[in-house]
Every structure is written in C-alpha cells, then in structure tokens.
C-alpha cells in the first residue's frame, strides 16, 4: 500500500510548526544547527521517543499507559543488577526486554480480562513497578558497567549514535506494523469501535493486550539505552517520563479517543519536545520556563488539530 | 393559517456529494408536514439546516415572515425551532425535570436551584399529556416513549412554535404510538407546526396533513396527504413502481448448512433446535424481547451458552468466541449496524476488509493488493456510492453505511449469514434491495437466517419461519402455510388459538 497521505497531512500543521521553531533557533543560536547539536537533540529525544512510539499503539486503541516511566526504572534496575551479578550481555538484554513485556502483559490482562480501565490499571502498575524498583535497589543506584553494554547508549555506527539508530528502526518497524499487519489495522479498529471489532470475529482482547506489551517493550528498550548511557540505573529514573511520552504522542496528532494517529506524528512530537528543551537550554532560559512552554505547546498542538478538524 | 416557516431554494453539498439541491419546504401553524424519502435523500440534512447545525450553501430560511440571516443552533432555538432527533438528546442520570430545564434551571436568590418551582412547572408542562410521569424520575429509568415525551415537553417549555420529529415512532410500541399521535394532535390544536420525518408510511395518513417527498436531494412533490395513497408516495420516493416488494425465493437445496441442537442459556432460551439448508432463508419471527437476538448471539459466540450443539455443514464445531464462529463460516450482521457494525472513523477499505485480513496475510504482511481488488469489486456489486475507498465511513450517507456493513461480510463468503433486523429503520426501496441481496446470497449457496419483527416481511421473504416466544421456538411454518394472525398468535404465546 502507498504511504497513507491523509495521516501525513494531518501531521503537517505540527510539522510546519516544528520547522519554524528550528528556523528560529538556527537564527537565535549559532550552535543549534551544528552536526554535534542535532545528533545530541535526536539522541536525547530517542529515549522517550521510543517509548512514545510504544505509547502510540496504546493510545490508538483508546487506552493509556501511565506506567512506562516505572517500567523503565524496573527494567533498567534489573539490567544493572544482573550485569553486576555477572550475567552475560545478551541474556541481560533479553531479560530486560522480558521484564518490560511482562509488565505490559500484566497491564493488558488486567485491562481486558479484569475489565478495569487502562487509567486505573497503569496508575497502579506505575506505583507497583516503582516500589519494586526501590525494593530491588534498596534505594541506591547501581552503576559502573563495562564491555558491550556501554555501546547501547554510548556507541556510534558510522558516527551516528547507536540510540538514534534504535529510534529510527523502532519508528520504521512500528510504521510497518501499523499499516501492513493485522495487529496494526486492528489497533486502529479497536480504537474506532471495539464492539464492532469483537462482532467481526476478532479477538480484540488479545490485540489490546499486545499493545500494552509493545509499550512495555519500548520502555525496556529505553531503559537499556538510558542505563548504558549514564552508566547507572537510578531507582528514581523515568519519574514523570509518562508525561513527556504522552505529550509527544498528543502533539503528533494522535487522538486520545483512539482510532486516529500515526507514528510519523509521534516522531515529530518527540523531536519537537527535544528541540524545545535543547533550544531553551542553548538560549539560557530557566528550566521553570521550559515547563510552561512545553505545556503551551501541548495544548496548542491539540487546538491546532481541533481547528483543522472543524474546517471540514 | 399563518405560515410559520418557509425554506426556499436550499442547497447543500458535502465533499463528494450533493445532499440537497434547490429544495423548498414550508410549515403552517397547526399543521403536521411529513417529510419522506429514501435513506440519503436529504431529509436529515434539511432538518439540520433548519436547526442551524449545518449552514446551507444557498437558499433562504424565513421564520414568521422574517428572514433568518445567520442561523446557528442557539438562535434557531431562541426563534422557536426545536428538533427532536432520533437519538434523543437527554442526560441519562439526570431527572426528567432537570433534563427539561437543562441550562435554564429556575434559581433562587444566591444562585441555588429552585427545585419547587422547577417541579411545579414541569408538572404543568406534562399535565396535558395525561400520564403518570414523576418529574424526579431519572431518564434512564423511564421507557423510550416517556423519553420522547420529555423531549416534547422540553420543546414546549422553550416556547417552540416549530417542532421537528425525526422518526419518533421507531422505538415505540403500538399503544405508545397511539399516545404520541394524540399528543401531536394536541400540539396541532395549540397552533404548533410539526415537521414529521418517518419511514413508516402507513402512519402518515393518521397524523400528517401534507407530505413532501425528497429523492436524491431534490424535492419531488409536496401535496396534501388526502391526495396521495401510500403507493403514490412510494412511487415518488423511488421513482419507479414497486411491482415486486417481496421477490419470491428460489428452491433451496437439501444440503444442511447449519444445525443447532438443544441451545440453552438460563434466563434467555431453552432447548432451541433448528436447521437451515444451503440456499434457504429461514425467518425468525417474534416480538421484541422474545430472545431472538440473544439466540443468534449465543450461536455466534458473542454470549456464552449453557448447552447446545452447533453443526456447520455436517461437522460439529466448538464456538467459544465470535472468532470461532467466523472461522466456522458464520456471519452475524447486527441490529445496531452503526454502533456494532461499523468503525465510523476508518475508511471504507478498513471497514470492508476487517473480516478478511486474516485470510490475506502472507509472512505477517497484509496483502493489500488482493484485498483492494476484493473490496473494490464488492463496493461495485453493492453499488456503494463513495468517492474512494479511503473515504471515511462517517462521511457516507446512512444507506451507504449500511451497505458497507454488508460488504464487510460478503467479501468473506460465509456459509451462514445471520441478519438481525436487516431492514430496521430503512425505507421501502432499500428494503427490497436487501431482500434481493439475501436471495442472491442464498442462490449462491449460502444459508440465511433473517430475524425480523416486521410480520409482513418475515412471512414473505423467507422460505420457512420459526416463531419464537419466551426463548423457545414455539412453531415452524413453511412459507405461505400460515396467516398473519396465526403467526402473531404464536408470537404472543397463544399457540395459534387466537385465530
């Protein structure tokens, strides 16, 4: 199938805003449009960008996952702990991903079979996973790794930072899944009308569970990058990440009601947040202001989307 | 009689469709003016323009001989236009009184709601209707007929001179319809003008004075009802004579497509057993609430059964979920097609292909090319009017949306199609189309189950009829074997004695 032009078009408004901000930044700061800085921005964005791609699946079904920050913390802590315990590189990676997927599975099962709303289940999971992280780490960071693990967050391939490559691969794979596979089409369909999906002979609960597993998996991937990059697993890492992650998805034009949105939008949303953080740092604007600006942009993006909807 | 409303030369287009073309409509005080037409003829659009929901591209609206320059929902309500939509606009967990006065609650000094005044006024409003309706009752706890009355009372409290009713009798039973007509006659007597949209043509002569027929967005005729018979109206609606309202069914083969044995679910149905042959249409007659929809959902795996065997083409199948049923070759086209059959925000393509993604996936990837071919062909066969396959289903007319639901199942080529109230809420022309579609499916070797509450169609379209009462099949008839009265008496649980 050809690239779905409408979904790309829907992201245009925000894409134009993004480009404008980049132009303004280039004018205001000589550092902004340098290779080092651009790679830096994308690398920073990749951590929550990857999580935002996972979150896009969840939000497309009309759900929400508040537990991603805590899932990042627990999988990062377990990665760090097992590395310290002498487990090999590959088993550690697999174990970490399994922890993320497992948390997502628990979310999905509670939401579908337990029939509890996603907000409540993932709010609970947010607390449980954070608590388990603190228990596991006894509240102390686990730091100091060596060998191939450091490559995940710090390595380069052809002078492109490895996290960026992971991010790009995530986006492309997610796009393929959403447009070219059953899971993808059912994800949109469930967000559009779950009852219709069920009456069409589709096991909606199975696919709903899978999207939470994807979100958990994405959080675990980000955990590997973050833990490797800062050479430490902090018990409080990922705190508040769910907000930036959801913001990236929403800025990207994905509807919180489900059924409408795309990974390209999320990609732009994630980069937008990255550019704003970076830009304001470059301009020496205080972190307090940054929060305000970020909030304005989230609301502005949705407002823009709403206006475009109503023009029809 | 004073002219309350005059709409002239109204035109309106949506992307890809002309909904209305140069339509005139007027309404006098104390008059009921019926508006009829096939689905997609433009009735709802015209009324939404009157309500200020849509803005006409061209044309004028005159209220009491004053031109309305910038209609919007608020100003039209203030000007005395009230629209009662088919999907009622009531808040389920608020009381009758609160709903009537929503946003206009009488208040005492200090801003607190004046409950006493509110209740008294509601009682006054409801008094003419002569029914026992407690103003404090919550909307969700009263029936659809009373909810309708609440909407009317709300319109009256807004001092509406013009009330638009969109299919008001659709959810009502016979005696409730009579009561509604009584209320409409009271409204007429007090000088209110009523625009009345309905598919139930047989009602019109009881309630309406004049009728306007729309076809494909154009006004075909406006005339006093005394001058037109139902056949005349139908002729104008469809632009052709309906010689064959119930096309005759073909001979079916003797090969069994579906057999159900001892289907039981506590409180729903008991020991339901029946079979359908390939090429056959089996009707399920009965009253609303007899358990027919539930029986179908049990077969389809949408509800869990306590006991019962399901045999498809001679092989017993285990059905625990809708997925099992679809895999076994059974399709269920639900009654609430919009709510249960469609995903309004997705494209025609995504909706139509929903049932066949699993058949056209290779190495995990959807074969869009194959699916596109199948869907395009089906859209053509069914005559779905859409600018493209990527059009969002929400933007199609009601009739075309219905057809998208059908296309979704037809592309899968199932052995058994269960249609739950396939013609509910659609007009005569579209009904005949549905009958013919069911027959061509049957002719291609499928077995059809048709659940219908409309006695005439369920007696005339199928080859055989099963009558359901209290969760049991109480009687089976061959086509033409029974009279209407006999079927009705079984459906009422009288066992044919009333005839």
Q: How confident is the model at residue B322 (pLDDT cuts 50, 70, 90)?
A: very high
Among the partner residues B323, B342, B365, nearest to A201 by beta-carbon distance:
B323
Q: Indicate the range of A62-71, A202-211, B247-256, B396-405 predicted with least confidence.
A: B247-256
Give residue B433's pLDDT: 83
| B324: closest chain A residue by CA | A201
Give the per-residue pLDDT at B241: 47
**Is A1 part of the contact surface with chain B (CB cutoff 8 Å)?**
yes
Query: Residue B330 phi/psi, 5° resolution?
Result: -105, 135
What secondary structure does DSSP assign to A148-168, as a single string? THHHHHH-EETTEEHHHHHHH
**Position A2 pLDDT exceeds 70:** no
Q: Is there a common fold for B3-238 and B256-491? A: yes
| Each residue's pLDDT tens digit, B374-429 | 999 999 988 888 889 999 998 887 778 888 999 999 999 999 999 998 887 676 67
Asked if the ipTM is above 0.85, the reply is: no
* Residue numbers in B near A181 (CB within 8 A): 361, 364-366
Distances (CA, A) of B474 to B158, B294, B338, B471, B495: 50, 16, 32, 9, 8
| Pick among B300, B343, B407 to test the A interface (most A CBs inside 10 A) | B343
Res. B249 pLDDT band, cuts 50 70 90: low
Q: Measure B176 CA to nearest chain A CA, in Å.
A: 31
Pairs across A and B, CB distance < 8 A:
76
The conformation of residue B347, written as its DSSP 8-state character, comes to: B
Sign of the torsion angle spanned by Cα atoms A108, A110, A114, A117: negative
Residue of chain A with shortest Cα separation from B353: A185
- Pairwise pLDDT comparison (B47 vs B336), residue with the higher score: B47
Chain B, residues 407-466, CB within 8 A of chain A, namely 408
The average confidence (pLDDT) of chain A is 90
Which tens digits make up the pLDDT trace of B22-36? 999 999 999 999 998
Q: What H or E segment, with its residue span, contains residue B10? A: strand B3-14
Residue A17 vs residue B489, higher pLDDT:
A17
Indicate which of B333, B357, B358, B418 best probes the interface with A, i.e. most A CBs within 10 Å of its own CB.
B357
Q: Distance, in angstroms, between A194 CA and closest chain B CA?
A: 8
Nearest to B366 among A6, A182, A196 (CB): A182
pLDDT per residue as tens digits for the range A6-16: 555 555 778 88
Q: Give, to the nearest 10 degrees, the angle between helix B368-382 and helix B398-410.
A: 130
**A230, exposed or middle or buried, with CB in 10 Å at 0-12, 13-18, 19+?**
middle
Under 8 Å between Cβ of B281 and B249? yes
pLDDT at B448: 94
Identify the pLDDT of residue B200: 76
Q: Which residues pair with B311 in a beta bridge?
A: B259, B316
pLDDT in tens, A128-159: 999 999 999 999 999 988 888 999 988 889 98
3-state secondary structure of B221: strand
Residue-level pLDDT at B255? 85
Q: How far, in Å, CA of B316 to CA of B64, rounded?
A: 68
B43 in Cβ contact with B85 (< 8 Å): no
CB contact under 8 A, B332 and A199: yes
pLDDT at A5: 56
CB contact under 8 A, B342 and A202: no
**Rg, Å, chain A Cα set:** 19
Are residues B354 and A197, on separate chains, in Cβ contact within 8 Å? yes
Q: Is A201 within 8 Å of B342 when comparing Cβ atoms?
A: no
Give domain limits for chain B. Answer: 3-238, 256-491
Residues 252-311, chain A, touching B (beta carbon < 8 A): 259-260
CA distances from B47 to B70, B75, B112, B180, B195 (A): 16, 15, 36, 20, 9
Residue B239 · residue B76 · CB < 8 Å? no
B362 burial (CB, 10 Å; 0-12 / 13-18 / 19+) is exposed
What is B256-491's CATH number, 3.30.450.40, 3.40.50.620, 3.40.50.300, 3.30.950.10? 3.40.50.300
0.80 exceeded by the pTM? no
pLDDT tier at B498, thresholds 50, 70, 90 = very low
| Interface touch B354/A312, C-beta < 8 Å | no
B130-175: pLDDT as tens digits:
777 888 889 888 877 788 888 888 888 888 899 999 888 877 777 7
Using the predicted structure, report yes or no on whether residue A227 has a pLDDT greater than 90.
Answer: yes
pLDDT digits (tens, 9 = 90+) for B166-200: 888 877 777 778 888 888 998 899 899 999 998 77
Closest CA to B153 of B171, B133, B175, B177: B133
Q: Has residue B240 got a pLDDT over 90? A: no
* pLDDT above 70 for A267: yes
pLDDT range class, residue B43, cuts 50, 70, 90: confident
Checking if the pLDDT of A276 tops 80, the result is: yes
* Higher per-residue confidence, B494 vs A6: B494
Domains and their CATH numbers in chain A: 5-310 (1.10.3470)
Q: Torsion angle, CA of B58/B62/B63/B68, rounded to 10 degrees? A: 60
Nearest to A203 among B321, B334, B355 (CB): B321
Query: Which CATH number describes the domain made up of B3-238?
Result: 3.40.50.300
């Amino acid at each position: 199938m050809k690239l779905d032009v409408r979904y790309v078009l829907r992201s245009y408004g925000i894409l134009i805003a993004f480009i404008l901000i980049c132009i303004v930044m280039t004018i205001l700061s000589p550092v902004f449009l340098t290779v080092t800085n651009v790679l830096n921005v994308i690398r920073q964005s990749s951590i929550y960008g990857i999580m935002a791609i996972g979150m896009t699946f969840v939000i497309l079904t009309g759900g929400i996952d508040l537990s991603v920050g805590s899932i990042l913390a627990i999988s990062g802590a377990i990665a760090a702990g097992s590395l310290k315990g002498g487990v090999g590189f590959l088993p550690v990676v697999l174990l970490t991903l399994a922890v993320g997927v497992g948390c997502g599975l628990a979310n999905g099962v509670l939401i579908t079979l337990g029939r509890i709303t996603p907000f409540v289940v993932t709010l609970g999971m947010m607390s449980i996973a954070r608590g388990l992280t603190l228990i596991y780490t006894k509240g102390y960071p686990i730091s100091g790794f060596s060998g191939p693990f450091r490559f995940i967050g710090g390595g380069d391939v052809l002078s492109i930072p490895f996290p960026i490559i992971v991010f790009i691969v995530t986006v492309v794979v997610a796009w393929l899944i959403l447009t070219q596979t059953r899971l993808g089409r059912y994800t949109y369909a469930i967000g559009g009308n779950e009852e219709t999906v069920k009456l069409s002979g589709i096991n909606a609960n199975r696919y709903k569970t899978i999207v939470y597993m994807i979100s958990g998996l994405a959080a675990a991937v980000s955990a590997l990058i973050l833990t490797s990059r800062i050479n430490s697993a902090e018990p409080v890492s990922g705190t508040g990440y769910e907000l930036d992650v959801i913001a990236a998805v929403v800025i990207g034009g994905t509807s919180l009601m489900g059924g409408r949105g795309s990974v390209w939008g999320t990609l732009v949303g994630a980069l937008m947040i990255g550019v704003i953080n970076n830009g304001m740092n470059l301009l020496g604007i205080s972190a307090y202001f940054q929060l305000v600006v970020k909030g304005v942009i989230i609301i502005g993006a949705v407002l823009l989307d709403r206006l475009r909807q109503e023009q029809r | 009689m004073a002219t309350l409303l005059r709409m002239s030369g109204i035109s309106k287009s949506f992307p890809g469709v002309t909904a209305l073309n140069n339509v005139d409509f007027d309404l006098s005080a104390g008059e009921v003016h019926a508006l009829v037409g096939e689905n997609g003829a433009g009735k709802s659009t015209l009324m939404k323009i009157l309500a200020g929901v849509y803005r006409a591209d061209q044309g004028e609206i005159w209220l009491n001989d004053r031109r309305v320059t910038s209609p919007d929902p608020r100003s039209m309500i203030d000007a005395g236009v009230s629209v009662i939509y088919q999907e009622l606009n009531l808040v389920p967990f608020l009381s009758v009184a609160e709903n009537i006065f929503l946003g206009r609650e009488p208040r005492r000094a200090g801003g607190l709601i004046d409950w006493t005044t509110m209740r008294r006024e509601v009682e006054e409003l409801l008094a003419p209707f002569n029914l026992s309706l407690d103003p404090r009752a919550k909307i969700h706890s009263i029936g659809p007929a009373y909810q309708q009355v609440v909407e009317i009372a709300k319109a009256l409290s807004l001092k509406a001179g013009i009330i638009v009713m969109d299919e008001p009798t659709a959810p009502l039973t016979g005696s409730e319809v009579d009561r509604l007509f009584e209320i409409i006659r009271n409204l007429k007597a007090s000088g209110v003008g009523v625009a009345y949209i309905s598919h139930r043509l047989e009602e019109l002569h009881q309630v309406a004075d004049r009728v306007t027929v729309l076809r494909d967005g154009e006004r075909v005729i406006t005339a006093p009802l005394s001058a037109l018979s139902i056949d005349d109206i139908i002729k104008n609606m469809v632009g052709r004579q309906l010689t064959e309202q119930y096309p005759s069914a073909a001979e079916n083969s003797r090969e069994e497509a579906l057999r159900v044995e001892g289907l039981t679910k506590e409180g729903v149905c008991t020991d339901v057993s029946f079979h359908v042959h390939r090429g056959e249409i089996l009707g399920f007659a009965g009253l609303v609430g007899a358990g027919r929809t539930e029986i179908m959902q049990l077969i389809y795996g949408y509800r869990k059964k306590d006991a019962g065997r399901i045999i498809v083409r001679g092989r017993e199948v285990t059905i625990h979920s809708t997925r099992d049923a679809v895999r076994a070759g059974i399709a269920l086209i639900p009654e609430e097609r919009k709510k249960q059959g469609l995903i309004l925000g997705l494209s025609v393509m995504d909706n139509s292909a929903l049932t066949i993604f699993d058949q056209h996936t290779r190495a995990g990837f959807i074969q869009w090319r194959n699916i596109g071919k199948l869907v395009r062909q089906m859209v053509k066969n069914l005559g779905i009017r859409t600018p493209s396959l990527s059009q969002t289903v929400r933007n199609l007319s009601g009739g075309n949306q219905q057809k998208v639901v059908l296309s979704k199942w037809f592309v899968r080529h199932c052995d058994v199609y269960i249609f739950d109230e396939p013609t509910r809420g659609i007009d005569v022309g579209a009904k005949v189309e549905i009958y013919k579609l069911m027959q061509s499916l049957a002719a291609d070797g499928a077995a059809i189950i048709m659940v219908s509450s409309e006695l005439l169609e369920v007696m005339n379209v199928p080859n055989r009829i099963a009558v359901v009462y209290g969760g049991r099949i109480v009687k089976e008839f061959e086509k033409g074997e029974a009279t209407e009265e006999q079927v009705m008496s079984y459906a009422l649980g009288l066992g044919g004695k009333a005839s």
